[in-house]
Amino acid sequence: MTDIEGRILESIETNKNKVRIFWDMDGTCTSMEMQNKEHKLEPGFFYTKRPIKTIINFMKKFNDLGADTFILSFCSYNYQKDDKLRWLKENCDFIKEENIIIIPRKEKSLNITEDKKYIKAHFIEKYTSPDDIIYMVDDNETVLLGTKEKLPYLNIVSPIDFIE
Ligand SMILES: [Mg+2]
CA separation, residue 76 to residues 5, 22, 44, 79 (Å)? 31, 19, 14, 9
Domain architecture of the chain: domains with CATH = 3-162 (3.40.50.1000)
Instruction: Report CA(34)–ligand 1 centroid distance (Å).
Output: 13
Global pTM? 0.94
- 3-class secondary structure per residue, 92-141: CCCCCHHHEEEEECCCHHHCCCCCHHHHHHHHHHHCCCCCCEEEEECCCH
Q: CA–CA separation, 124 vs 72, rounded Å?
A: 8
The per-residue pLDDT for 129 is 94
Q: Cα of 64 to ligand 1 centre, how many Å?
A: 24
State the pLDDT confidence band at 34, using cuts at 50, 70 and 90: low
Cα 140 to averaged position of ligand 1 atoms, centre (Å): 6
What is the Å distance from ligand 1's center to 73 Cα? 7
Q: Ligand 1 centroid vs 18 CA: distance in angstroms?
A: 25
Structure confidence by residue, pLDDT tens digits, 36-91: 556 677 777 788 889 999 999 999 999 999 999 999 999 999 999 999 999 999 99
d(CA 112, CA 129): 23
- For ligand 1, the distance from its centroid to the CA atom of residue 111, given in whole angstroms, is 21
Tell me, in angstroms, the distance from the centre of ligand 1 to residue 141's CA.
9
Asked if pLDDT for residue 134 goes beyond 80, the answer is: yes
